[in-house]
Structure 1
Amino acid sequence: MARFTGKKAKETPALNMGSMSDIIFMLLFFFMVITTMRESSLYVKIIPPQGTEVSKLEKKSLVSYINVGVPLPDQQKKFGTDSRIQLNDQIAEVSDIIQFVELEKSSRPEADRPFITTAIKADKDTKMGLISDIKQELRAAGAFKIFYNARKAERK
């Protein structure tokens, strides 16, 4: 006859760590693919005005941004407290806009150049005279598609 012994505590098998590194690298690769990097650092404060007609852009990759606003507090010693224009990562003058538009056009493929849109991200307290000057320079540069950044009006 067979001998019956008492119940022995079953040991749980050790975790297979061989595939753990594969999982970690898949997660790392996933987050690297879906994350977008900020193209430029903001040196001006922008609180967009409210808009009545708000629509979204279809192809954000074809948009060149012009930021307009008061310099951030840590930049005010260098640039003053008046509204300034930021093109990519540097504060610029109105006269620099034509060169900026030409650089943006030349950095895009030939097929995409007619579809480039210029977005003006202006602070709500920016004077309209500065915005008009920017529009005149954009017209002179041949950039006729202009998009104004705004936030949706709050519903009551």
Structure 2
Amino acid sequence: MSKFRKKDKGELPAISTASLPDIVFMLLFFFMVATVMRDSSLMIENILPSADQVEKLKKDRTVFIFAGKPSSQYKQFGTEPRIQFNDAFIAVEDVKPSVLQAISELNEELQSKVVIGLKVDKKTNAGLVSDIKQELRKANALKVMYIANVKTE
């Protein structure tokens, strides 16, 4: 009498993989956009000093110079504080040509607005910082900022 009958136990239908390439490319695109590439790897110990008044500037017009003693991976360079520019240790007399080259690689409208960021370890002596500043004056890079951590109380 009834027209309804129980279905036989059949196999489950196959999962459609038609949208799988779309999902993969969407994830790939997301990670390509969201990932930040590191400019340079840090070769020195860099524990920044803390400051009360900190102001954030745009990174597109900033050239960074690091100073501090070499990290444990680079002990072959000694224990005295060194200057790191990009991915290499440089001497004090190489600061001027390195900075001038980095400035020339920027866009023309940013070259006059470039700011030199000094990321100096808090245990580095002031003599090295003074020498770096003298070389920056010779390069006519007069806009200098010191990078510091925000003081927490």
Fold shared by both chains (TM-score > 0.5): yes
CA offset at residue 75 of structure 1? 1.1
CA offset at residue 11 of structure 1? 6.2
Match of 1:76 in 2: 75
Counterpart residue type for residue 44 of structure 1: I
Q: Aligned equivalents of 2:104 and 2:138: distance in 1? A: 17
Aligned-residue RMSD, C-alpha = 1.6
Q: Secondary structure at the match of 1:14?
A: coil
1:42-70 Cα distance to aligned partner (Å, 9 max, x none): 1111000011211111x212111101011
Between the two proteins, the alignment pairs up a number of residues equal to 153
Q: Aligned equivalents of 2:145 and 2:63: distance in 1? A: 10
CA offset at residue 124 of structure 1? 0.6
**1:62 corresponds to 2:61:** yes
Counterpart residue type for residue 28 of structure 1: L
Which consecutive residues of structure 2, in runs of 5 or more, have no partner in the other structure?
A: none
Q: 1:18 to 1:4 in 2, by over 3 A?
A: closer
Q: Percent of aligned pairs with the same residue?
A: 43
TM-score by length of 2: 0.92
Match of 1:39 in 2: 39
Q: Aligned equivalents of 1:116 and 1:33: distance in 2? A: 26
Q: Aligned equivalents of 1:4 and 1:112: distance in 2? A: 78
**1:6 corresponds to 2:6:** yes
Q: Secondary structure at the match of 1:135?
A: helix
Match of 2:129 in 1: 131
Q: Secondary structure at the match of 2:23?
A: helix
